[in-house]
């Protein structure tokens, strides 16, 4: 029995190693993924991962949190500084948990929440079958401009004024262009609603001064996951400029005891290091992400792949979306690319029925991880040429896989981060006085 279980454990370990090797020779282009810096990764194997810390620093329900409290206070300070927010809660353990906390805090069962529909790019947590529905709220979709991949402003203004939602929620899993929040201010005022921005995908771009700045554009609360364009651990965050002190208290309660008990202290520490690194490197990183996304969009388009919104420069974020219905559909293309070591995902497009989620028209492509390993605009042309061989030319993915592995040999280092403890100390003067 012991030998059998040892064998099962070794099976797991071997498959994790194979996964690691596979991604080390692949082109990871899932728009919701990234890789942490070595210094942040170190936190994941610290003793923090064994411990509990319910509540706030200095007011815990467990003993032994002296150093945890010091770290959490610093992570909160770094988050406030990076995002210029009055309020930050770093305890949510995922983006969806952060969303649940906000729903728990600001909405009640039966409340109407205006949001995107899933086929227009919304995250599943905003759907009736996701977190919004779990809270018992009623999602009402915004009218959507398919040509420009954004909300229809006039229709949205009309909707918000008519519905008068409890919360107007903005945020997508397919986020190509900034939301025109400033154009909606009068509608927000008339509806007297909370304005919530789910910045999960674009959090690192926002922190780096790209895409948009929701907390300066009329948003009361912004949530996000911390492992996409913000290259940290898989975790969530809540940032806010609360309308009033009551809202601040509601957000606190929504997190704990609302939806979080212990909040995974090792990833909290890793988040803190990521925030410090982003203060130093975030602007450069965000700018390169957007340049790479635009360059890849242009290169794919020139090679006959139907990347959406060429008239708008394809994207202002890390994400591209392509209609590959004429190339076999999203599921077929994503699987063929995977065999070649190019990792994207099939994705619904606005004209797809939600029921076709497993076989949609589109694929979603992200460049944030390729940027993180040092790729620039010229490299995006090489990536596009390789993708064309699978999508357009129909070459055997196993043959293309060799080209992918050869290209990847040139990109083995993580960029836009502290390369050593010594370098981290070099920047200590920049971050030590946060608060």
Distance (Å, whole) CA 296 – CA 291 = 9
Provide the token pair at 315: 């994207």
Same domain, 85 and 224: yes
Task: Judge whether residue 129 has pLDDT over 90.
Answer: no
CATH (domain of 174): 3.40.640.10
Same domain, 81 and 153: yes
The number of folded domains in the chain is 2
pLDDT score of 7:
83
Same domain, 370 and 260: no
- Residue 299 within any structural domain of the chain: yes
Which residue's entry shows tokens 């070099």?
Answer: 426
Q: Grade residue 230 by pLDDT with cuts at 50, 70 and 90.
A: very high
- Residue 1 within any structural domain of the chain: no
Same domain, 319 and 336: yes
Tell which wins on pLDDT, 351 or 429: 351
Q: Grade residue 128 by pLDDT with cuts at 50, 70 and 90.
A: confident
Distance (Å, whole) CA 35 – CA 28 = 10
Average pLDDT over residues 114-142: 84
pLDDT score of 428:
59
pLDDT score of 427:
62
Write phi, then psi, for 247 (nearest 5 degrees).
Answer: -65, -40
pLDDT score of 435:
39
CATH (domain of 390): 3.90.1150.10
Q: What percent of the chain has pLDDT over 70?
A: 95
Each residue of 240-270: pLDDT tens digit? Answer: 998 788 999 999 999 999 999 999 999 999 9
Q: Which helix (H) or strand (E) holds 55?
A: strand 55-56
Same domain, 296 and 364: yes
Average pLDDT, the chain: 93
- Residue 4 within any structural domain of the chain: no
Task: Judge whether residue 134 has pLDDT over 70.
Answer: yes
Task: Judge whether residue 431 has pLDDT over 80.
Answer: no
Q: Grade residue 1 by pLDDT with cuts at 50, 70 and 90.
A: low
Same domain, 296 and 184: no
Same domain, 203 and 297: no
Same domain, 235 and 271: yes
Same domain, 214 and 306: no
Distance (Å, whole) CA 347 – CA 363 = 5
pLDDT score of 353:
79
Same domain, 242 and 230: yes
Same domain, 359 and 402: yes
Sign of CA pseudo-dihedral 390, 391, 392, 396 = positive
Same domain, 185 and 299: no
- Residue 419 within any structural domain of the chain: no
pTM assigned to the model: 0.94
Name the pairing type of β-strands 231-240 and 306-307: unpaired
Q: Grade residue 296 by pLDDT with cuts at 50, 70 and 90.
A: very high
pLDDT score of 283:
98
Q: Which domain holds residue 234?
A: 41-278
Task: Judge whether residue 395 has pLDDT over 80.
Answer: yes
Average pLDDT over residues 314-331: 97
């Amino acid at each position: 029995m012991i030998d059998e279980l040892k064998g099962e454990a070794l099976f797991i370990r071997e498959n994790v190693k194979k996964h690691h090797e596979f991604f080390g020779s692949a082109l990871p282009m899932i728009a919701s993924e990234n890789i942490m810096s070595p210094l942040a990764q170190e936190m994941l194997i610290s003793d923090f991962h064994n411990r509990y810390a319910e509540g706030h620093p200095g007011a815990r329900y467990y003993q032994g949190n002296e150093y945890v409290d010091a770290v959490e206070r610093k992570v909160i300070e770094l988050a406030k500084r990076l995002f210029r927010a009055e309020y930050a809660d770093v305890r949510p353990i995922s983006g969806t948990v952060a969303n649940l906390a906000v729903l728990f805090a600001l909405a009640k069962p039966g409340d109407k929440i205006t949001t995107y529909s899933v086929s227009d790019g919304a995250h599943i947590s905003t759907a009736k079958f996701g977190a919004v529905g779990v809270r018992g709220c009623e999602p009402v979709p915004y009218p959507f401009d398919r040509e420009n991949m954004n909300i229809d402003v006039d229709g949205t203004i009309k909707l918000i004024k008519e519905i008068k939602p409890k919360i107007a929620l903005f945020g997508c899993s397919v986020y190509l262009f900034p939301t025109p929040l400033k154009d909606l201010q009068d509608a927000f005022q008339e509806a007297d609603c909370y304005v919530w921005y789910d910045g999960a995908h674009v959090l690192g771009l926002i922190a780096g001064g790209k895409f948009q700045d929701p907390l300066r554009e009329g948003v009361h609360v912004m949530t996000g996951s911390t492992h996409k364009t913000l290259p940290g651990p898989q975790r969530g965050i809540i940032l806010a400029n609360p309308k009033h002190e009551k809202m601040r208290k509601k957000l606190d309660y929504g997190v704990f005891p609302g939806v979080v008990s212990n909040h995974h202290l090792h990833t909290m520490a890793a988040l803190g290091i990521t925030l410090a690194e982003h203060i130093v490197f975030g602007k450069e990183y965000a700018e390169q992400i957007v340049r790479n996304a635009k360059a890849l969009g242009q290169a794919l388009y020139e090679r006959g792949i139907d990347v959406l919104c060429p008239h708008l420069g394809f994207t202002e974020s890390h994400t591209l979306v392509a209609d590959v219905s004429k190339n076999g559909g999203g599921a077929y293309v994503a699987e063929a690319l995977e065999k070649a070591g190019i990792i994207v995902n099939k994705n619904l497009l606005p004209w797809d029925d939600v029921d076709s989620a497993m076989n949609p028209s589109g694929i979603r492509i992200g460049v944030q991880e390729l940027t993180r390993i040092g790729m620039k605009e010229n490299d995006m042309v090489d990536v596009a040429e390789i993708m064309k061989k699978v999508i357009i030319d129909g070459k055997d993915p196993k043959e293309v896989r060799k080209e992918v592995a050869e290209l990847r040999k040139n990109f083995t280092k993580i960029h836009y981060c502290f390369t050593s403890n010594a370098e981290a100390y070099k920047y200590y003067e920049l971050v030590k006085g946060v608060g």
